[in-house]
Amino acid sequence: MKKTVLINFFVIIIFFIFAEIFTRAFNLIELQGADKNIYYTENEIILSKKNKSFKIFGKNSKTDEYGFRIPLEKFSYKKDKAYTLILGDSVTFGVGVEEKDSFVGLLRKELKKNLLNTAIMGHNVKSYSYLLEKNYSKFEKRIDKVVIFLCLNDIVSYQGVAFKEDLNKPKIKKNFIENYLKNDIFFKLNIFLREKSAFFVLLKSLITSPVRRHYEYMKILYEKENNLILFKSYIDKIVKFSKYNDIETEFVLLPYKHQVVNRCKKEYLKPQNKIKKIFNFLNVKLHDYTFNFCDYENNEDLFLSYDPVHLSKYGHRLVSELVISNNIIK
């Protein structure tokens, strides 16, 4: 009996080892999660530490002296030129792709501009408003252009699920029972495994259908009037600050994968319609790339595998081409 149990145990271990090797070898899915040690909070806004090298979604990343993502190779800004401030969340940061393959990296190379990529996982309209004012002052008013890449989940004003724990809260030692019974064990196990095991991420994705599930969750946020009011107030605040300081500001809206693979059927576009209504009310131009994504022939390839919103290198390429063709950054 013991021998049978032991054999079965080793068979299971060997299976998972080979499954992990196979998943990684054929690049079936990207690792998820980020090293939270590189983040800190300032006035309830998550920021990245300066001059750090780290991994996020399994890809090597690097921050500059301001805490912004920059190329891995030697890099410096052109101090004699003005800056373009890029605001966004994990999509704009470019999780799951190398910096050179992100749309900010592609634009940086193509346009030879000083692009400040302030984007971080979990950022939202509240973050954008704060970072606009903070960095306009920091760079001594040398920011002459701001481009804000909106995702549909930016309507919420709290930080993302990747930062469930308070980063500023001191780490209090707890006894064994408190650690494993009072704390969210499964949450911590999920965070650990999605950062370490590609096969776990794949298996979880196949079981939980994250593309549809995340869209359904996000769609509910647009049914709450308070969320829309708060979103509108932050957009209005950003626009007024930009006008007062004579900063040219552009807004770009990016879709969810579930909308795109369903070819932008009317019933899937209610969030975009509500956002457009807000921008129309404020008389602010919005570049909505939803249909550009939907019209792409193999549009599923524009996103990371089994991911509800983050772009593949093909999706980043499309965004960079649209930004250039629309003269959003010249």
> Is the pLDDT confidence value at 78 over 60?
yes
Residue 240 lies in a domain: yes
Q: Does the structure show a pLDDT above 90 at 298?
A: yes
Is residue 188 a part of any domain in this protein? no
120 versus 35: the higher-pLDDT residue is 120
Q: Are strands 45-48 and 114-117 parallel, antiparallel or unpaired?
A: unpaired
- Are 84 and 133 in the same domain? yes
Which CATH number does the domain housing residue 94 bear?
3.40.50.1110
Provide the 8-state DSSP code for 169.
S
Report pLDDT for 24: 73
Asked if residue 137 and residue 18 are part of one domain, the reply reads no
Please tell me whether residues 294 and 251 are part of one structural domain.
yes
Looking at the structure, do residues 7 and 53 belong to the same domain, yes or no?
Answer: no
Same domain? For 103 and 231 the reply is yes
Residues 26 and 91 occupy one common structural domain:
no
Looking at the fold, whether 149 and 13 belong to one and the same domain comes out as: no
Phi, psi of 63 (to 5 degrees): -115, 155
Shared domain check, 65 and 50: yes
Residue 250, domain member (yes or no): yes
User: How many other C-beta atoms can be found within 10 angstroms of the C-beta atom of residue 185?
Assistant: 11
Question: Of 274, 214, 270, 229, which Cα lies nearest the Cα of 90?
Answer: 214
160-188 per-position pLDDT tens digit: 444 444 433 334 344 333 343 345 666 67
CA distance 97 to 143: 27
Tell me: the pLDDT tens digits for 128-161?
999 999 999 999 889 999 999 999 999 876 544 4
The whole-angstrom separation of Cα 63 and Cα 77 is 13
How many domains in the chain? 2
Q: What's the count of helices (H) and strands (E) in the chain, helices before strands?
A: 13, 9
Q: 22 with 66, same domain?
A: no
- Say if 74 falls within a structural domain: yes
231 located within any domain: yes
Indicate if 129 and 24 belong to the same structural domain: no
R_g of the chain computed on alpha carbons: 21
| Bigger pLDDT: 109 vs 167 | 109
Residue 254 and residue 268 in one domain: yes
N- to C-terminal Cα separation, the chain? 72
Residue 198 domain flag: no
Kindly state the average pLDDT of the residues 31-57. Answer: 88
Residues in Cβ contact with 33 at an 8 Å cutoff, skipping those fewer than 6 apart: 56, 57, 162, 191, 194, 195
- Domain containing 18 equals 1-30
Q: What confidence tens digit (pLDDT) does each residue in 245-256 have?
A: 999 999 999 999
What would the pLDDT profile of 204-253 be if each residue is shown by its tens digit?
A: 767 878 899 899 989 999 999 999 999 999 999 999 999 999 999 999 99
Considering the domain architecture, whether residues 84 and 122 belong to the same structural domain is answered as: yes
Residue 184 resides in a domain: no
